[in-house]
Structure formats: structure tokens, C-alpha cells
Amino acid sequence: MWFYLAVLLVLYFFRRWYRERQTVENLTEKYVFITGCDSGFGNLLAKQLDMTGMRVLAGCYTQKGAEELEKVTSDRLKTTILDVTSTESVAAAAEWVKQCVGNKGLWGVVNNAGIATPMGPNDWLTKEDFMKILSVNLLGLVDVTLQMLSLVKRARGRVVNVASTMGRLAFFGGGYCPSKFGVEAFSDSLRREMLSFGVHVSIIEPGAFHTSISTTVEDSFKDLWTQLPSDIKVQYGQQYFENCHKQLVELLYSGSTNLNLVTDSIEHALTSCHPRTRYSPGWDAKFFYIPVSYLPTTVADYILTRGRPKRAQGI
């Protein structure tokens, strides 16, 4: 019995490997729009796809980011300034993309733009702190997708949304995890709706990666503590903050520096004839965060909380 099961597993993975090696034709004629190209995954992806010959349309938050990207890429790559929290900015970018692609339509939209701060225990935060992240990571992603969707339908192309393992397992407080859970839900519903239009929707769920966001998160955590009301500080205690900050730094800076694991997943989602529904780049994603997300709640809670610092007035 076990022998036949092993054979079936081998045949399954061989079939998947063979199907996923098949790539889309005429990639050099296809347009891809990417958000968040100033740095990190978006910046690397724009360069990577440009090197393959695809026609990259890069949305950058700053003029400086756009100019620096243009300096190191080919004339095929074009940039525009994009603030995903502004409907006017997104609409202007959509009109610009429409003029660039013409009747060909837009082969791919990669929603990569995102922020992670402010991040901390939920009772350190305000509604505005949550909205700051949700407006970029979730509402901005939805706005960009809806504004570009008619162009993607025309090309029967791809939508690739960058979520996170934190969209499967809420590991810390703040708006980041809720925003990524929202990305997962939006992507799932959109995928089912777009099937009849020939549009594929893929979700990227990276584990921990060391990017420029790491420094931002660390600094934001320190600022958050200094601004807390005195009664909240007493409840948590200085020792809690110091231990929590130490753990946060270890987590942030232990992340993989190989950002290609993420960009290769996105490229596959755009170029394979048979893209996956979900990609989980990073060993921690595959062997810790995703598996733990399937465990019973009490077991997952124990695993995630057993090593956390103790609060001064906690039980």
C-alpha cells in the first residue's frame, strides 16, 4: 500500500513539475504593471522582468525612486508616480497604463506596495494606526486591481497579489496582519470570479525577509513605546519593552536576504502556463508559519505565545 502511495506522490509532483515548466509565448510583447517599485521586492522584480524582455510599467511612490530605477534598466521599462492611497493617483496611473498598452491589454498586475508600521500590541495603537496600514496594504491594493481589471480581462492575463504568511497566521498586533488576511480574502473571491474571463489570480505569501522595512519597523516600535500613556507603560513594564524589542530585532534581521525567492515566485505566476494559486517563498513559510496555521487554535496559541516576554501586570 505504502509503495503505491509513494508512486502516486512521485507521479503527482512530476506532473506538477512538468506543467509548471511550460511558459507563456510572446512574453516580450506583454505588459506588466507593478506597484511599490522604489525598493525591496518591487524594485528587484521590475529589474528582473525587464531583463527577460517583458514590458514593465513601474509604479513608484517618489520621483527619486523612479529616476534611480530608470537609470539601471532598459528603455522598455517605463515609470509613473503612484500613491495607492489616493484614488486620483490610481485613476491617473490606470489611464497612463491604458495609453501604454493600447489594444493589447495588460498581461499582469502585481500588487506589491505595502507598509508594516506602526506595529505593536493592539492596545498600544489607535484606529488611525490601523487605517494607515489598511489604506495601503488592502484598500490601495483593491483600488489598483479594480482600476486595472478591464485591461487585464482584455489580455486574459494575471493578477498577482503580495500577501504574507501573516495573512494566514496573526503573529503580532497592529494593522499588518488584518490587512494581509484581507488580501487573502479579496484574492480568493476575485480568483473565483475571474475564472470565466480566463484571468488567473495568484497570492504570494512570503516568510520573513530582510528588507528596508526591517529598520522602519524597529524604529517605529521604539517611537510607539515612548508615546504610550503612563498607565499602559506600567501594565507592560520597561523590561517587557526591552525583551520584546530584542525579540523583534532578532526576528527582523534573521530573515532571508535572498529576495529572489519572492521575485522568482512572482515571475513564475506571470509567465507559467499553469501558475499556482499560492506561493510560499522561504523555508520558514513552508515549514513553520503555514503548517502552524493549520493546527488547532489552542496548539497554535501555545506555540506562538510560549516564548513571549511577560508583562509586568500580566497573569
Answer for the pair 214, 255: CB distance below 8 angstroms, yes or no: yes
CB 74 within 8 Å of CB 64 = no
Q: Are 300 and 293 in contact (CB under 8 A)?
A: yes
Contact between 274 and 20 under an 8 Å Cβ cutoff? The reply is yes
Cell representation of residue 194: 475571474
> Whole-angstrom Cα distance, residue 278 to residue 9?
20
What is the rounded distance in angstroms from the CA atom of residue 164 to the CA atom of residue 161?
Answer: 10
Which three cell numbers mark 161? 497579489
Beta strands in 184-275 (DSSP E): 200-204
**Phi, psi at residue 37, to the nearest 5°?**
-95, 5
CB burial of residue 78 (10 Å; 0-12, 13-18, 19+)? middle
Sequence length of the chain is: 315
The span from the CA of 283 to the CA of 289, in Å, is 9
Look-up of cell digits 528582473: 48
- Catalytic one of 31, 61, 176, 236: 176
Sheet containing 78-81: which strands, arranged edge to edge? 78-81, 55-60, 31-34, 108-111, 158-162, 200-204, 278-279
253 an active-site residue?
A: no
Residues forming the active site: 176
